[in-house]
Amino acid sequence: DAKTTQPPSMDCAEGRAANLPCNHSTISGNEYVYWYRQIHSQGPQYIIHGLKNNETNEMASLIITEDRKSSTLILPHATLRDTAVYYCIVRVAFSSTLTFGKGTMLLVSP
Amino acid sequence: EAGVAQSPRYKIIEKRQSVAFWCNPISGHATLYWYQQILGQGPKLLIQFQNNGVVDDSQLPKDRFSAERLKGVDSTLKIQPAKLEDSAVYLCASSLGGTGGAYEKLFFGSGTQLSVL
């Protein structure tokens, strides 16, 4: 699976949009981009995934660049409960293995 | 819907002792995973079961770690003997089919925090 690069930490003010970047410049055509997050003392939680089109669900939006070499996870109105480590993972379709990196620690402050 | 259940929540042992963790996946989920998460790092896959068969155990330290999934439901992970470097959170996850399709989501339990002294 392709490697991903994420900033180790980011800050965001409560109520503002949180934009978390991820670089995956070696991504292949059959690899999807997944985002999970891990709140303190809990297991990781699925957020969203996409192949090449932008995706939106009740939790977040995923913007993938046209060349698919990078993506951005957007939390439109961050709350204190969104403070967590966010993992960007590239995974081959039909492969159920998730390989986690160190992720981005997002701190949402009042 | 009940989530993935794990026990115990915390465990403290001395090195060279043995320890076991238990996991009950979401009902109907065929695939079960055990991950190890060392402080400050992302989770690392130890072993993956499809029903009661092992799909991937390439990163399981087989000289001291063992896992089983009897009857394709509950699973136990054992460490014997434990080393200091085994201190970590042990996470269990499950997924519906394990075919790895694009919509295959993993659901994680809250983990067992192991401290080896």
For chain A, state the CA radius of gyration. Answer: 13
Digit-coded pLDDT (tens) for A45-94: 999 999 998 999 999 999 999 999 999 999 999 999 999 999 999 987 66
Nearest residue on chain A to B102, judged by CA atoms?
A: A93
B43 phi/psi in degrees, rounded to 5: -60, 145
- What lies within 8 Å, CB to CB, of B90 at 6+ separation is B6, B21, B34, B35, B36, B37, B77, B111, B112, B114
B70 phi/psi in degrees, rounded to 5: -70, 140
Task: Check A44 against B91: CB less than 8 A apart.
Answer: yes
Alpha-carbon distance B53 to nearest alpha carbon in chain A (angstroms): 15
To the nearest 10°, report the CA torsion of A68, A63, B104, A1.
30
Residue A11 C-beta-side C-alpha neighbours within 13 Å: 3
- In the predicted model, what is the mean pLDDT of residues B44-53? 92
Q: Mark out chain A residues that contact chain B at CB-CB < 8 A.
A: 32, 36, 41-46, 49, 51, 87, 91-103
Concatenated DSSP letters of B17-68: --EEEEEE--TT--EEEEEEE-TTS--EEEEEEETTEEEE-TTS-TTTEEEE
Residues in chain B with CB shorter than 8 Å from the CB of A102 are 40-42
Give me the pLDDT at residue B11, please. 98
DSSP state of A25: T
- What lies within 8 Å, CB to CB, of A98 at 6+ separation is A34, A36, A89, A91, B45, B106
Digit-coded pLDDT (tens) for B76-96: 999 999 999 999 999 999 988
Residues in chain B with CB shorter than 8 Å from the CB of A43 are 4, 91, 93, 108-111
Task: Check A97 against B45: CB less than 8 A apart.
Answer: yes
Q: Is the pLDDT of residue B102 over 60?
A: no
Nearest by CB to residue A102, choosing from B41, B93, B104, is B41
Task: Check A100 against B42: CB less than 8 A apart.
Answer: yes
d(CA B89, CA B11): 10
B52 pLDDT band, cuts 50/70/90, is confident
Q: Tokens 């080393």 appear where?
A: B83
Give me the pLDDT at residue B77, please. 98
d(CA B77, CA B93): 13
Q: Is the pLDDT of residue B100 over 60?
A: no
Alpha-carbon distance B26 to nearest alpha carbon in chain A (angstroms): 14
Q: Of all residues in chain A, what percent carry a pLDDT higher than 90?
A: 84
- CB atoms near residue B9 (< 10 Å): 11
Measured CA distances, B59 to A91, B47, B68 (Å): 18, 7, 15
Alpha-carbon distance B85 to nearest alpha carbon in chain A (angstroms): 19
DSSP 3-state assignment of A1?
coil
DSSP state of A5: B
Task: Check B42 against A103: CB less than 8 A apart.
Answer: yes
Token couple for A107: 């701190």
Digit-coded pLDDT (tens) for A12-58: 999 999 999 999 999 988 889 999 999 999 999 999 999 998 999 99
Q: Of all residues in chain B, what percent carry a pLDDT higher than 70?
A: 94
